[in-house]
Amino acid sequence: MRFPSPINRSVRRVLPWVGAAGLLACPPLEASAHADGVPPVTTAAGASHSYALLIGDNQGGPGQEPLRFAESDAGSVAAVLRQLGHYAASDVRVLLHPDAAQVLAALDDVGAKVRANAAHGETSEVVFYYSGHARANAVNLGGEELPLTALRERLASLPSALTIVVLDACQSGSFSRVKGAEPAADFTYNSVTGLTQKGLAVMASSTSQELSQESDELKASYFTHHLITGLRGAGDADGDGRVSLDEAYRYAYRRTLASTARTQVGEQHVTLETNLEGQGEVPVTYPSEARAQLGLADTLDGRVLVQQHGTGAVMAEVQKAPGDPLRLALVAGAYDAVVRQTSGIVQCRVILVDDRTTVLDLSTCTPVAPEKTTSKGGGHDAPPIREQDRWSIEVSAGFMSRHDDSYTKTLQTFGYQPSDGFLSLPPARLTLGVSRAFSRHLVGVFQVGTLAGDTYTRSIENTTDTAKFSAWGGALYLRAQTNLVDNVLGVYGQAGVGVTIGTLDYSTAQTNVPPDTGTTYFGPLVSGAGGMTVRLPALATLFLQVGYDIAPAISNLIGDTHDSGGVSCVVGARFRFGDNL
């Protein structure tokens, strides 16, 4: 795991908007009904209906590099509001990499519901969140652009009592081009000057002339991650069990600024502009109502990174100072907490259960040594990776192709013919190996396994001669791997060199000839393979692999050498000792 390796998330450019349309910028997100089926309660603003529309799009337009976490950010915000906000599940919608028509249609659908409520004298709240690329006058949706004027008109036309908008948008995705980017009006610059509609709150991930960034370690943008952590309870400054819009902003502002202060891109200041006259505090989440909570003691002083055990998903990252205790609202389950203090680093396994606050007990934690890495821009040190987390055992089984060459042709010249094995199946391919990860994408492997073998027979004067050759190989491999889908599906390729051990066993019933002889041979092994993986939560990864081996070793007296390699296809499993890579 690496510490903040900022990916230039991108300058946002603002358009001098008016109205609920000056709006691109704000908040809450997705929500769902409580598990017990209790209807959503009214909000502090007095609204009886709440709707959330969350948009995430990793792909940019021409000249924009894809983002990594925009789509997962939208889902993460949706999850925290579903768990801790007062929203009905049917009133929360997440759109991933939609086109412009889908976004506008979704806004029209929300507008129809708000107007229907207004016709019955009922008020509504609307939350709009966008995470992705943006240009000076449009947001990017894949290869399309949605003009901000069109988006502004849709939002401005909503007769809602409260409209909250959060925009985490990016323009230039390539870090190498940051210095060359031309200054422009910042897309996320916010001003309520001239707003004609009350009940509008606009939160932006950065100010004008600033770049917003993603974090490899947090697997999210800095801003969205800290906003979510604040909504889970870290932002509850007054301890009333609710996190208001203002509290969420203040927490996201402080933590985003601190996290980006030492990156190469530079400081990132979250902004909030509101026109909520007469509405008082606007609660967004209610962490005290969560059934499972993680408690951090008042004496704890250090940085706490909380990850979901098994998936490694970062749930919260808190800089805890001595003083008041802190509680984080999470879903019941297993978590790993890495606590970094001046005295050292420890890792703790925490099991959260419903209807209980589980306090993090450092006495049960295991000390770990920090990984010796240097982050880009002199950022924070990388989180520790235990040595045991780097190791895996691998096993596989399958088949290899038979290899015909000058050696086997010579056998046939002397009257030998291949003897079909059991059910005429090709030679079996069995492997056993051990691997150590150097990084998330680079692994060293030592593997031993069977290679192709065969049996040839001939009949002479009512006797049968048999020549059986077998081979085994051992090699060191370097494997490059990457994840494709949510750290579950992946692909890899590997190449290695090693040693082949081959044996030839000859038996005959001829007279004046030794009945059985055996000879052992040694030769080189060159091997390559590629495959797909499916990562399971129970410390196991399944894989399907196709490879090719070159293994010349067995030879005869006239200079022919048999290659015991060939094409192989196997299925197998890797069993991890730990779960941090």
Note whether 33 and 89 are within 8 A (CB): yes
> Residue 204's closest CA among 274, 151, 281?
274
Q: Is the pLDDT higher at 315 or at 433?
A: 433
Q: Return the pLDDT at 476.
A: 97
Q: Return the pLDDT at 507.
A: 87
Average pLDDT over residues 172-197: 32
Q: Is the pLDDT higher at 338 or at 175?
A: 338
pLDDT digits (tens, 9 = 90+) for 546-555: 999 999 999 8
How many other CB atoms sit within 10 Å of the CB of residue 17? Answer: 22
Query: Is the fold of 7-210+270-281 the same as that of 292-378?
Result: no
Note whether 163 and 124 are within 8 A (CB): no
Structure tokens at 27: 């908040």
- Identify the band that residue 192 occupies on the pLDDT scale cut at 50, 70 and 90: very low
DSSP string, 71-115: HHHHHHHHHHHHHHS---GGGEEEEES--HHHHHHHHHHHHHHHH
Q: Return the pLDDT at 388.
A: 73
What's the DSSP call for residue 270? -
Which CATH code for domain 292-378? 2.60.40.10
For the cut 80, the answer to whether the pLDDT of residue 206 exceeds it is no
Structure tokens at 580: 């941090």
pLDDT digits (tens, 9 = 90+) for 505-528: 988 877 666 677 889 999 999 999
Structure tokens at 131: 């995470």
Question: Would you kindly state where each structural domain of the chain is located, as residue ranges?
Answer: 7-210+270-281, 292-378, 387-576
Question: Tell me: domain 387-576, CATH 2.40.50.140, correct?
Answer: no
pLDDT digits (tens, 9 = 90+) for 417-458: 888 655 667 889 999 999 999 888 899 999 999 998 888 888
Average pLDDT over residues 341-352: 90
Distances (CA, A) of 326 to 308, 343, 506: 19, 21, 76
**Beta strands in 11-170, from DSSP E residues, in sequence order:** 49-56, 92-96, 124-133, 138-141, 144-147, 162-170
Lowest-pLDDT range of 13-27, 262-276, 284-298: 13-27
Angle between helices 222-229 and 70-84 (to 10 degrees): 10
Beta strand 366-368 with 391-400: parallel, antiparallel or unpaired? Answer: unpaired
Distance of CA 264 to the CA centre of its chain: 23
Beta strand 162-170 with 124-133: parallel, antiparallel or unpaired? Answer: parallel
Single pTM value for the model:
0.54
Average pLDDT over residues 449-475: 88
How many other CB atoms sit within 10 Å of the CB of residue 276? Answer: 18
Element at 148 (helix H, strand E): helix 148-156
- Identify the band that residue 189 occupies on the pLDDT scale cut at 50, 70 and 90: very low
Phi and psi for 253 in degrees, rounded to 5? Answer: -65, -50
The CA radius of gyration of the chain, in Å to the nearest whole number, is: 31
Q: In angstroms, rounded to a whole number, what is the distance separating the alpha carbons of residues 371 and 148?
A: 45
* Residue showing tokens 């009904």: 33
pLDDT digits (tens, 9 = 90+) for 31-76: 333 333 333 334 434 457 889 999 999 887 666 778 888 999 999 9
For the cut 50, the answer to whether the pLDDT of residue 331 exceeds it is yes
Average pLDDT over residues 282-307: 90
Q: Return the pLDDT at 191.
A: 35
Q: Using a pLDDT cut of 70, give the percent of the chain over it.
A: 77
Assigned CATH class of 7-210+270-281: alpha beta
> Residue 29's closest CA among 170, 131, 138, 133?
131
Q: Using a pLDDT cut of 90, give the percent of the chain over it.
A: 31
